[in-house]
Structures are given as C-alpha cells and as structure tokens.
Structure 1
Amino acid sequence: METSESQHHYVGFWARFGASIIDTILVIMITSPLLYSIYGNEYWETDQFIIGLPDFLISWVLPLVATVLFWVYKSATPGKMVLKAKVVDAETGNAPSTQQSIIRYVGYYISSLPIGLGFIWVAFDAKKQGWHDKIAGTVVVSQ
C-alpha cells in the first residue's frame, strides 16, 4: 500500500528504547535457561566471548533469526507490538523485506559502535530514524 509521508506518526527515542528493553528481557528469558542447561554456571564464569557452537547459535543466530522473522511477518518485535509500533519500508509503508530486515539488524551493530550514537540519532532525526533505519530504508511508525 502506498502511503504519503503526512500519514506517518514516527515513533520517538523513548518509546523505542522502552520496546528494546522489553525485547532484551524476552531474549534473556529465552536464551539464559538454554545456555545454563548446556553450560551450567561455567557460562557466566568464563572470560571467553563465545564458549562453543551452541553458545554462538543461541546467543547470536537465534536472536537474529527471531528478530528478522518478527519484522518480516509482524512488522514488529514483541516490544514494539506492546507499544503499538511497527517497522515499515520508508518509501511504501509496507512491511520490510527480508533483505531490509537483515540489513537493519546488521545496522544495529553499526548504530551501537560509536557509543550508541546511531540509536541516540533517533531523538534528533526528523523521521525518528536511527542509523540502522537509514541504512535499511525503514521507519518506525505508530499503528
């Protein structure tokens, strides 16, 4: 569906921050018991960045796949759903494509590198886009 820019109500920094807190808590609630069942207390006591393949799959691949699937099929992660916000293609207003979603997820790392400046950018941008949104061609709007 084609949308005009005037129909969008862009979601700002604090609402998006709240959504990310919800999503982070959910990821921890899912991944921590899985990691504990495999590694026990060793997981939290080690200095290693990645302990093994299960750690990599649970800590890195699972959140990526889940987030991309939520964006593609629901246009929102659970945190955004709670706040009645959704990620859409900036041009069409449609759900983001799989490619856009993957680029947006990778863009999270780019946004976080310079002390989170890419996320803070949302507070100052006219369309409330973080760097990850700009890279992927997405915006976050109210439903």
Structure 2
Amino acid sequence: MDDMTSSNAEPPQAKTVEFAGFWIRLAATLIDTVIILVITLPLMYVIYGDAYFEQGLLYYGYADLLISYLFPIIATVVLWMRLSATPGKMVFHLKVVDERSYNKPGLGQSLVRYLGYFISAIPMGIGFLRVGWHKKKQGLHDTLARTLVIKDQQD
C-alpha cells in the first residue's frame, strides 16, 4: 500500500466524476481564509495588541507561529483527512480525494498537498492557475499529493 493514501479501496466503477474548476475552488479558499482570519486575528490582537498589526513583520513571536502558521496547517490537514473538505469546500459540496481510490487523503498525502501550496504559489501562482486548464482540474499541489477536488455526488 502506498504510504500516501488512506486506503487501498478501488476507485468507483462506472461513476461519473465532476472535477471542481478554478473559480469554485477560489471561492472556497476565500471562505476558508475569512474563517481563519476571524479566528486568528482577534487572538493575535489580544496577545500582541496594536503592535502586531503596525509592525508588518512576517513573524512576531511564538504565539504568532502557533496561531497564524501551525493552527491553519493542522486544521486544514485534519479536515481533509476526516471530512475530505474544509468549510469553504463544504459550502460548495466539494471533496478532496485520493486520485486513485477516491477515498479521503491520508496524513502524508494531506501534508504534501498543503506544503505543495507554497510550490504552487511560485512563480506568480502558476501552480494554482493550472487548475483552469488541467484535464482533471489539478493544481500542482494536487499532482504532487496525487489528489483531486471533485464535486460530491452524494448531494
């Protein structure tokens, strides 16, 4: 069994899969970003006060590292593994799945996908824009992690 997948189940037979395109995925990402900011920014204000917003530093301290960086990574990876989606993707009935089995992604796969976001962003977001023209609507991060984003057929 591949250590990046969560299961060795066979992909659905004779099932029509609809891949999620660029714009719906962008909308889902915007929702997720707003949710993360609504959670993290008030915490950062309580801990650091106005200085956090005035300094413009990439990294402000240990609490910043935990709240602004580690929390979003952990939350996103856990949501992909448990629910196959973040809240933004749930709004649009989208799922992140293993490209072979169509099951939820495993831990390794989810971590590769998240870290792949940084690679997708360089240069000029081409790895994300790739969703718009790829036949399976995969961003570079999806290809690296061997995942797909599909429309949930169970709705």
Could you say what the CA RMSD is over the residues aligned between the two structures, in angstroms? Answer: 1.1
Q: 1:123 aligns with which of 109, 123, 132?
A: 132
Secondary structure of 2:103's match? coil
1:138 equivalenced with 2:155 (yes/no): no
**How far off is 1:113 after superposition?**
1.6
Whichever structure has more helix as a proportion of its residues is 1
Cα distance 1:87–1:5, how it changes in 2: closer, same or farther (>3 A)?
A: farther
Aligned to 1:100: 109
Give the unaligned 5+ runs of structure 1.
none
Spell out structure 1 runs of 4+ moving beyond 6 A: none
- 1:98-132 CA distances to partner (integer Å, 9 max, x unpaired)? 11000000000000121111000000000000000
Aligned to 1:10: 19
What is the CA–CA distance in structure 2 between the aligned matches of 1:105 and 1:38, rounded to whole Å? 27
**How far off is 1:8 after superposition?**
1.2
How many percent of aligned residue pairs carry the same amino acid? 45
Aligned to 2:65: 56
**How far off is 1:4 after superposition?**
4.3
TM, length-normalised to structure 1: 0.97
TM, length-normalised to structure 2: 0.89
Deviates more, 1:22-31 or 1:40-49: 40-49
Give the unaligned 5+ runs of structure 2.
1-8
Aligned to 2:36: 27
What is the CA–CA distance in structure 1 between the aligned matches of 2:106 and 2:57, rounded to whole Å? 35
Number of aligned residue pairs: 143
